[in-house]
Amino acid sequence: MMTTPDVTRLLGALVRCPSVTPDAGAALDLAAGWLAPCGFDCHRLVFEADGTAPVDNLFARLGTGSPHFCFAGHLDVVPPGETSAWSSPPFAGDIADGKMIGRGTEDMKGGVAAFIAAVLGLIDAGGATLSGSVSLLLTGDEEGPAVNGTVKVLEWMAENGHTPDHCLVGEPTGVNTLGDVAKIGRRGSLNGHLTVRGKQGHVAYPARAANPIPMALDLIAALTEPLDEGTGNFEASNLQITSIDAANTAVNIIPGRVEILFNCRFNDRWTSAGLEVELRRRLNAVAAAGATSWQLKTSSNAQSFITATGTFTNLVAKAVKDTIGIEPELTTGGGTSDARFVTKYCPVVEFGLVGRSMHQVDEYVPVSDLETLACVYRLILERYFEQPD
Protein backbone atom coordinates (compact mmCIF):
# COMPACT_ATOMS: atom_id res chain seq x y z
CA MET A 1 0.00 0.00 0.00
CA MET A 2 1.42 3.33 -1.02
CA THR A 3 1.34 6.30 1.28
CA THR A 4 -0.65 9.31 0.17
CA PRO A 5 1.93 11.89 -0.87
CA ASP A 6 2.20 15.13 1.01
CA VAL A 7 1.18 17.99 -1.28
CA THR A 8 3.85 20.33 0.10
CA ARG A 9 6.56 17.80 -0.60
CA LEU A 10 5.27 17.31 -4.17
CA LEU A 11 5.22 21.05 -4.80
CA GLY A 12 8.70 21.51 -3.36
CA ALA A 13 10.05 18.87 -5.73
CA LEU A 14 8.30 20.48 -8.72
CA VAL A 15 9.59 23.96 -7.84
CA ARG A 16 13.14 22.60 -7.65
CA CYS A 17 12.84 21.70 -11.36
CA PRO A 18 13.44 25.13 -12.92
CA SER A 19 11.05 24.59 -15.81
CA VAL A 20 11.13 28.01 -17.45
CA THR A 21 8.90 27.82 -20.50
CA PRO A 22 9.13 25.72 -22.61
CA ASP A 23 11.69 23.53 -20.78
CA ALA A 24 9.30 21.58 -18.57
CA GLY A 25 10.74 18.14 -19.35
CA ALA A 26 12.24 17.42 -15.96
CA ALA A 27 9.11 18.54 -14.12
CA LEU A 28 6.98 16.33 -16.39
CA ASP A 29 9.37 13.42 -15.67
CA LEU A 30 8.76 13.93 -11.96
CA ALA A 31 4.98 13.93 -12.40
CA ALA A 32 5.10 10.82 -14.57
CA GLY A 33 7.33 9.19 -11.95
CA TRP A 34 4.63 9.71 -9.33
CA LEU A 35 1.71 8.67 -11.53
CA ALA A 36 3.03 5.64 -13.43
CA PRO A 37 3.66 3.44 -10.36
CA CYS A 38 0.01 4.02 -9.36
CA GLY A 39 -1.31 2.58 -12.61
CA PHE A 40 -1.43 5.66 -14.83
CA ASP A 41 -0.68 5.02 -18.47
CA CYS A 42 1.80 7.84 -19.23
CA HIS A 43 2.33 9.26 -22.73
CA ARG A 44 5.11 11.77 -23.33
CA LEU A 45 4.07 13.89 -26.29
CA VAL A 46 6.59 16.16 -27.97
CA PHE A 47 5.18 18.61 -30.50
CA GLU A 48 6.89 21.20 -32.66
CA ALA A 49 5.96 23.67 -35.35
CA ASP A 50 7.77 26.11 -37.61
CA GLY A 51 9.19 29.01 -35.66
CA THR A 52 8.60 27.48 -32.23
CA ALA A 53 10.72 25.28 -29.98
CA PRO A 54 9.72 21.61 -29.54
CA VAL A 55 7.61 21.25 -26.40
CA ASP A 56 7.25 18.34 -24.00
CA ASN A 57 3.81 17.40 -22.73
CA LEU A 58 2.44 14.58 -20.60
CA PHE A 59 -0.88 12.79 -20.86
CA ALA A 60 -1.46 10.28 -18.07
CA ARG A 61 -4.67 8.28 -17.71
CA LEU A 62 -5.80 5.78 -15.11
CA GLY A 63 -8.36 3.34 -16.50
CA THR A 64 -10.20 3.53 -19.78
CA GLY A 65 -13.82 3.63 -18.67
CA SER A 66 -16.31 6.42 -18.67
CA PRO A 67 -16.98 8.91 -17.33
CA HIS A 68 -13.55 10.29 -18.04
CA PHE A 69 -12.47 13.16 -15.80
CA CYS A 70 -9.45 15.16 -16.98
CA PHE A 71 -7.36 17.62 -15.00
CA ALA A 72 -5.48 20.09 -17.20
CA GLY A 73 -2.56 22.23 -16.18
CA HIS A 74 0.93 23.37 -17.03
CA LEU A 75 4.33 22.78 -15.50
CA ASP A 76 6.21 25.48 -17.38
CA VAL A 77 6.75 28.74 -15.53
CA VAL A 78 7.67 32.29 -16.46
CA PRO A 79 11.30 33.34 -15.86
CA PRO A 80 12.16 34.51 -12.34
CA GLY A 81 13.29 37.96 -13.49
CA GLU A 82 15.88 39.54 -11.24
CA THR A 83 16.91 36.63 -9.03
CA SER A 84 18.66 38.91 -6.52
CA ALA A 85 15.33 40.63 -5.82
CA TRP A 86 13.87 37.38 -4.42
CA SER A 87 13.94 36.91 -0.65
CA SER A 88 14.83 33.25 -1.20
CA PRO A 89 16.04 31.53 -4.38
CA PRO A 90 13.19 31.19 -6.92
CA PHE A 91 13.80 27.49 -7.53
CA ALA A 92 14.46 26.34 -3.96
CA GLY A 93 10.90 26.02 -2.66
CA ASP A 94 11.83 27.37 0.78
CA ILE A 95 9.06 27.63 3.36
CA ALA A 96 8.87 30.60 5.73
CA ASP A 97 5.94 31.82 7.84
CA GLY A 98 3.70 29.11 6.44
CA LYS A 99 4.34 30.12 2.81
CA MET A 100 6.30 28.33 0.14
CA ILE A 101 8.19 30.80 -2.02
CA GLY A 102 9.19 29.92 -5.56
CA ARG A 103 8.48 30.49 -9.22
CA GLY A 104 5.40 28.50 -10.17
CA THR A 105 4.17 27.88 -6.60
CA GLU A 106 0.94 29.65 -7.50
CA ASP A 107 0.97 29.53 -11.33
CA MET A 108 0.52 26.65 -11.42
CA LYS A 109 2.70 23.91 -9.97
CA GLY A 110 0.69 24.34 -6.77
CA GLY A 111 -2.50 23.32 -8.55
CA VAL A 112 -0.79 20.35 -10.22
CA ALA A 113 0.72 19.18 -6.90
CA ALA A 114 -2.68 19.49 -5.21
CA PHE A 115 -4.39 17.45 -7.91
CA ILE A 116 -1.72 14.72 -7.91
CA ALA A 117 -1.94 14.50 -4.11
CA ALA A 118 -5.73 14.31 -4.37
CA VAL A 119 -5.88 11.62 -7.03
CA LEU A 120 -3.12 9.48 -5.50
CA GLY A 121 -4.86 9.82 -2.14
CA LEU A 122 -8.09 8.60 -3.69
CA ILE A 123 -6.36 5.60 -5.24
CA ASP A 124 -4.67 4.87 -1.94
CA ALA A 125 -8.09 4.82 -0.32
CA GLY A 126 -9.32 2.14 -2.71
CA GLY A 127 -10.31 4.28 -5.66
CA ALA A 128 -8.22 2.18 -8.04
CA THR A 129 -11.59 0.64 -8.81
CA LEU A 130 -12.92 4.00 -10.04
CA SER A 131 -16.19 3.74 -11.91
CA GLY A 132 -14.62 5.55 -14.84
CA SER A 133 -11.22 6.98 -15.58
CA VAL A 134 -9.16 9.97 -14.57
CA SER A 135 -6.42 11.69 -16.52
CA LEU A 136 -3.95 14.55 -16.35
CA LEU A 137 -3.05 16.72 -19.31
CA LEU A 138 0.14 18.53 -18.34
CA THR A 139 1.81 20.87 -20.79
CA GLY A 140 5.07 22.77 -21.00
CA ASP A 141 3.68 25.40 -23.32
CA GLU A 142 1.13 27.51 -21.48
CA GLU A 143 3.32 30.49 -20.61
CA GLY A 144 4.88 30.49 -24.09
CA PRO A 145 3.22 30.66 -27.51
CA ALA A 146 0.68 27.91 -26.58
CA VAL A 147 1.12 26.30 -29.98
CA ASN A 148 2.71 22.95 -29.11
CA GLY A 149 0.93 22.35 -25.83
CA THR A 150 -2.67 21.80 -24.75
CA VAL A 151 -4.14 22.42 -28.21
CA LYS A 152 -2.07 19.61 -29.77
CA VAL A 153 -2.40 17.24 -26.82
CA LEU A 154 -6.18 17.56 -27.11
CA GLU A 155 -5.99 16.70 -30.82
CA TRP A 156 -3.84 13.69 -29.98
CA MET A 157 -6.28 12.66 -27.24
CA ALA A 158 -9.20 12.85 -29.66
CA GLU A 159 -7.35 10.76 -32.25
CA ASN A 160 -6.50 8.12 -29.65
CA GLY A 161 -9.84 7.72 -27.92
CA HIS A 162 -8.98 9.85 -24.89
CA THR A 163 -11.45 12.73 -25.27
CA PRO A 164 -12.65 13.48 -21.73
CA ASP A 165 -16.24 13.90 -20.61
CA HIS A 166 -15.39 16.76 -18.27
CA CYS A 167 -12.29 18.82 -17.57
CA LEU A 168 -11.06 20.83 -14.62
CA VAL A 169 -8.31 23.37 -15.31
CA GLY A 170 -6.28 24.10 -12.19
CA GLU A 171 -5.14 27.66 -12.95
CA PRO A 172 -5.29 30.16 -10.10
CA THR A 173 -8.84 31.56 -10.01
CA GLY A 174 -9.14 32.99 -6.50
CA VAL A 175 -9.29 36.76 -6.14
CA ASN A 176 -9.12 37.49 -2.41
CA THR A 177 -9.38 34.14 -0.71
CA LEU A 178 -9.23 30.48 -1.72
CA GLY A 179 -12.66 29.41 -2.92
CA ASP A 180 -14.13 32.80 -3.78
CA VAL A 181 -14.08 32.34 -7.57
CA ALA A 182 -14.31 29.55 -10.13
CA LYS A 183 -14.30 30.31 -13.83
CA ILE A 184 -16.83 28.94 -16.28
CA GLY A 185 -15.75 30.91 -19.32
CA ARG A 186 -13.26 33.40 -20.62
CA ARG A 187 -13.34 36.41 -22.86
CA GLY A 188 -11.75 36.31 -26.28
CA SER A 189 -8.79 38.44 -27.28
CA LEU A 190 -8.11 40.35 -30.48
CA ASN A 191 -4.94 42.34 -31.24
CA GLY A 192 -5.07 45.24 -33.65
CA HIS A 193 -2.40 47.20 -35.48
CA LEU A 194 -3.74 50.33 -37.15
CA THR A 195 -1.48 52.33 -39.46
CA VAL A 196 -2.55 55.85 -40.39
CA ARG A 197 -0.62 57.39 -43.29
CA GLY A 198 -0.34 61.06 -44.19
CA LYS A 199 2.43 63.00 -45.84
CA GLN A 200 5.57 64.11 -43.99
CA GLY A 201 6.46 67.78 -44.15
CA HIS A 202 7.68 71.00 -42.51
CA VAL A 203 5.48 72.20 -39.63
CA ALA A 204 5.69 75.75 -41.04
CA TYR A 205 4.21 74.59 -44.35
CA PRO A 206 1.28 72.34 -43.33
CA ALA A 207 -0.45 72.82 -46.66
CA ARG A 208 2.35 70.84 -48.30
CA ALA A 209 1.99 67.96 -45.81
CA ALA A 210 -0.86 65.79 -44.50
CA ASN A 211 -0.71 65.31 -40.74
CA PRO A 212 -1.95 61.79 -39.84
CA ILE A 213 -2.29 62.59 -36.13
CA PRO A 214 -5.71 64.33 -36.14
CA MET A 215 -7.03 61.51 -38.31
CA ALA A 216 -5.53 58.95 -35.91
CA LEU A 217 -7.29 60.60 -32.97
CA ASP A 218 -10.65 60.47 -34.78
CA LEU A 219 -10.11 56.80 -35.62
CA ILE A 220 -9.15 56.02 -32.03
CA ALA A 221 -12.28 57.77 -30.78
CA ALA A 222 -14.36 55.58 -33.10
CA LEU A 223 -12.59 52.38 -31.99
CA THR A 224 -13.03 53.09 -28.29
CA GLU A 225 -16.78 53.74 -28.37
CA PRO A 226 -18.53 51.05 -26.22
CA LEU A 227 -18.91 47.71 -28.01
CA ASP A 228 -21.75 46.31 -25.92
CA GLU A 229 -23.18 46.46 -22.41
CA GLY A 230 -22.12 43.00 -21.33
CA THR A 231 -24.07 39.74 -21.63
CA GLY A 232 -25.62 37.32 -19.14
CA ASN A 233 -22.30 35.86 -18.04
CA PHE A 234 -19.83 38.49 -19.20
CA GLU A 235 -18.81 42.05 -18.54
CA ALA A 236 -18.85 44.55 -21.38
CA SER A 237 -16.22 43.99 -24.07
CA ASN A 238 -13.26 46.29 -23.65
CA LEU A 239 -10.88 47.78 -26.20
CA GLN A 240 -7.68 49.36 -24.92
CA ILE A 241 -5.27 51.40 -27.00
CA THR A 242 -1.82 50.17 -25.98
CA SER A 243 0.50 52.29 -28.13
CA ILE A 244 0.40 55.42 -30.31
CA ASP A 245 3.67 56.01 -32.09
CA ALA A 246 4.51 58.59 -34.76
CA ALA A 247 8.23 57.67 -34.58
CA ASN A 248 9.03 61.37 -34.61
CA THR A 249 11.60 63.12 -32.40
CA ALA A 250 11.75 66.40 -34.31
CA VAL A 251 9.42 69.26 -33.34
CA ASN A 252 9.59 70.84 -36.80
CA ILE A 253 8.42 67.79 -38.75
CA ILE A 254 4.85 66.74 -39.41
CA PRO A 255 5.15 62.94 -39.25
CA GLY A 256 4.16 60.84 -42.21
CA ARG A 257 2.69 57.95 -40.28
CA VAL A 258 1.18 56.92 -36.94
CA GLU A 259 1.16 53.34 -35.70
CA ILE A 260 -1.55 52.45 -33.19
CA LEU A 261 -1.72 49.17 -31.28
CA PHE A 262 -4.74 47.96 -29.37
CA ASN A 263 -6.15 44.87 -27.73
CA CYS A 264 -9.79 44.01 -27.31
CA ARG A 265 -11.11 41.54 -24.71
CA PHE A 266 -14.49 40.56 -26.02
CA ASN A 267 -17.47 38.67 -24.61
CA ASP A 268 -19.77 36.08 -26.19
CA ARG A 269 -21.63 38.78 -28.10
CA TRP A 270 -18.73 38.61 -30.60
CA THR A 271 -16.44 36.34 -32.50
CA SER A 272 -13.06 37.73 -33.52
CA ALA A 273 -14.27 37.86 -37.16
CA GLY A 274 -17.50 39.65 -36.28
CA LEU A 275 -15.61 42.07 -34.10
CA GLU A 276 -13.19 42.91 -36.90
CA VAL A 277 -16.14 43.64 -39.21
CA GLU A 278 -17.52 46.05 -36.62
CA LEU A 279 -14.18 47.78 -36.09
CA ARG A 280 -13.69 48.23 -39.85
CA ARG A 281 -17.22 49.62 -40.13
CA ARG A 282 -16.37 52.20 -37.48
CA LEU A 283 -13.08 53.15 -39.14
CA ASN A 284 -14.78 53.47 -42.53
CA ALA A 285 -17.41 55.73 -40.98
CA VAL A 286 -14.74 58.28 -40.06
CA ALA A 287 -14.54 60.45 -43.16
CA ALA A 288 -11.17 59.98 -44.82
CA ALA A 289 -9.55 63.40 -44.63
CA GLY A 290 -7.51 64.56 -47.61
CA ALA A 291 -4.36 62.61 -48.22
CA THR A 292 -4.56 60.41 -45.11
CA SER A 293 -5.47 56.73 -45.21
CA TRP A 294 -5.55 53.85 -42.78
CA GLN A 295 -4.80 50.16 -42.78
CA LEU A 296 -5.84 47.62 -40.12
CA LYS A 297 -4.24 44.27 -39.33
CA THR A 298 -5.70 42.03 -36.66
CA SER A 299 -4.84 38.73 -35.06
CA SER A 300 -6.71 36.65 -32.53
CA ASN A 301 -5.68 33.52 -30.67
CA ALA A 302 -8.69 33.29 -28.38
CA GLN A 303 -12.44 33.24 -28.90
CA SER A 304 -14.74 33.73 -25.95
CA PHE A 305 -16.50 30.71 -24.47
CA ILE A 306 -18.92 29.80 -21.72
CA THR A 307 -19.61 26.48 -20.03
CA ALA A 308 -23.33 26.13 -19.35
CA THR A 309 -24.06 25.91 -15.64
CA GLY A 310 -25.42 22.52 -14.60
CA THR A 311 -24.35 19.26 -13.04
CA PHE A 312 -20.60 19.69 -13.53
CA THR A 313 -20.34 23.36 -12.52
CA ASN A 314 -22.57 22.60 -9.51
CA LEU A 315 -20.38 19.65 -8.51
CA VAL A 316 -17.27 21.85 -8.46
CA ALA A 317 -19.01 24.73 -6.68
CA LYS A 318 -20.51 22.43 -4.05
CA ALA A 319 -17.16 20.72 -3.37
CA VAL A 320 -15.64 24.15 -2.78
CA LYS A 321 -18.53 25.16 -0.51
CA ASP A 322 -18.42 21.94 1.49
CA THR A 323 -14.64 22.07 1.96
CA ILE A 324 -14.03 25.78 2.50
CA GLY A 325 -17.46 27.10 3.46
CA ILE A 326 -17.54 29.64 0.63
CA GLU A 327 -19.88 29.60 -2.33
CA PRO A 328 -17.61 30.40 -5.28
CA GLU A 329 -18.74 33.03 -7.72
CA LEU A 330 -18.78 31.56 -11.25
CA THR A 331 -17.11 34.21 -13.39
CA THR A 332 -15.60 34.80 -16.82
CA GLY A 333 -13.06 37.57 -16.12
CA GLY A 334 -9.30 37.72 -16.42
CA GLY A 335 -6.98 36.78 -19.25
CA THR A 336 -7.12 33.83 -21.59
CA SER A 337 -6.22 30.31 -20.45
CA ASP A 338 -5.84 26.88 -21.98
CA ALA A 339 -9.49 26.28 -21.09
CA ARG A 340 -10.25 28.01 -24.41
CA PHE A 341 -8.90 24.93 -26.19
CA VAL A 342 -10.58 22.39 -23.89
CA THR A 343 -14.04 23.88 -24.37
CA LYS A 344 -14.08 22.55 -27.95
CA TYR A 345 -14.09 18.99 -26.58
CA CYS A 346 -16.01 18.96 -23.29
CA PRO A 347 -17.43 21.12 -20.51
CA VAL A 348 -14.60 22.84 -18.63
CA VAL A 349 -14.44 24.60 -15.29
CA GLU A 350 -11.41 26.33 -13.81
CA PHE A 351 -10.68 26.27 -10.11
CA GLY A 352 -7.38 26.74 -8.33
CA LEU A 353 -5.35 28.83 -5.93
CA VAL A 354 -5.58 32.57 -5.35
CA GLY A 355 -3.72 34.52 -8.04
CA ARG A 356 -2.02 36.94 -5.63
CA SER A 357 1.60 36.77 -6.67
CA MET A 358 1.78 34.99 -10.01
CA HIS A 359 4.55 36.17 -12.34
CA GLN A 360 5.91 38.39 -9.53
CA VAL A 361 9.15 38.36 -7.57
CA ASP A 362 8.63 36.21 -4.43
CA GLU A 363 5.71 34.28 -5.92
CA TYR A 364 4.36 32.21 -3.05
CA VAL A 365 1.55 30.00 -1.86
CA PRO A 366 0.33 29.60 1.72
CA VAL A 367 0.87 25.94 2.64
CA SER A 368 -2.60 25.86 4.21
CA ASP A 369 -4.18 26.91 0.88
CA LEU A 370 -2.28 24.17 -0.90
CA GLU A 371 -3.55 21.55 1.53
CA THR A 372 -7.11 22.88 1.31
CA LEU A 373 -7.02 22.85 -2.49
CA ALA A 374 -5.94 19.20 -2.44
CA CYS A 375 -9.00 18.49 -0.23
CA VAL A 376 -11.31 20.30 -2.68
CA TYR A 377 -9.91 18.33 -5.63
CA ARG A 378 -10.26 15.07 -3.68
CA LEU A 379 -13.92 15.81 -2.92
CA ILE A 380 -14.59 16.73 -6.56
CA LEU A 381 -13.14 13.38 -7.64
CA GLU A 382 -15.02 11.36 -5.02
CA ARG A 383 -18.35 12.89 -5.98
CA TYR A 384 -17.65 12.76 -9.71
CA PHE A 385 -17.13 9.02 -9.58
CA GLU A 386 -20.12 8.51 -7.29
CA GLN A 387 -22.48 10.02 -9.86
CA PRO A 388 -25.06 7.63 -11.22
CA ASP A 389 -24.21 8.42 -14.85
Residues annotated catalytic, as ranges: 76, 142
CB 21 within 8 A of CB 76: yes
Q: Does 75 bind Zn ion (CB under 5 A)?
A: no
Among 272, 174, 273, 270, CA closest to 229: 270
Nearer to Zn ion among residue 107 and residue 268 (C-beta): 107
195 bridge partner residues? 259, 295
Q: How far is the CB of 354 from Zn ion (least distance, A)?
A: 13
Nearer to Zn ion among residue 364 and residue 385 (C-beta): 364
Q: How far is the CB of 58 from Zn ion (least distance, A)?
A: 16
**Interaction with Zn ion in 346-365: which residues (CB under 5 A)?**
none
Q: How far is the CB of 157 from Zn ion (least distance, A)?
A: 20
Nearer to Zn ion among residue 188 and residue 355 (C-beta): 355
Interaction pattern, residues 171-190, with Zn ion; x per rule: CB under 5 A: x-------------------
Among 177, 155, 149, 193, CA closest to 337: 149
Stretch in the footprint of Zn ion (CB under 5 A) among 25-33, 107-115, 147-155, 196-204: 107-115
Give the phi and the psi of residue 298 in degrees, each rounded to 5: -130, 160
Q: How far is the CB of 286 from Zn ion (least distance, A)?
A: 39
Q: How far is the CB of 113 from Zn ion (least distance, A)?
A: 14
Q: Does 45 bind Zn ion (CB under 5 A)?
A: no
Nearer to Zn ion among residue 133 and residue 148 (C-beta): 148
Stretch in the footprint of Zn ion (CB under 5 A) among 48-56, 108-116, 226-234, 268-276: 108-116
User: Which amino acid makes up residue 57?
Assistant: N
Torsion angle (degrees, nearest 10) of CA 338, 343, 349, 355: 20
Identify the three-state secondary structure at position 191.
strand
Stretch in the footprint of Zn ion (CB under 5 A) among 82-90, 91-99, 103-111, 177-185: 103-111
CB 196 within 8 A of CB 241: no
Query: Which of 107, 276, 338, 363 lies at the binding interface for Zn ion (CB under 5 A)?
Result: 107
**Can you tell me the distance from the alpha carbon of 219 to that of 287, in angstroms, rounded to the nearest whole number?**
9
CA angle 38, 118, 317 (to 5 degrees): 140
Q: Does 108 bind Zn ion (CB under 5 A)?
A: yes
Q: Looking at the chain, which runs of residues are DSSP E strands?
A: 41-47, 55-62, 68-74, 95-96, 99-101, 133-139, 166-169, 181-183, 185-186, 188-197, 201-202, 238-245, 253-254, 257-266, 293-302, 305-306, 329-331, 348-350, 364-366
Stretch in the footprint of Zn ion (CB under 5 A) among 50-58, 80-88, 106-114, 206-214: 106-114
**Interaction with Zn ion in 132-171: which residues (CB under 5 A)?**
171
Q: How far is the CB of 180 from Zn ion (least distance, A)?
A: 18
CA angle 220, 225, 228 (to 5 degrees): 140
Footprint on this chain of Zn ion (rule: CB under 5 A): 107-108, 171
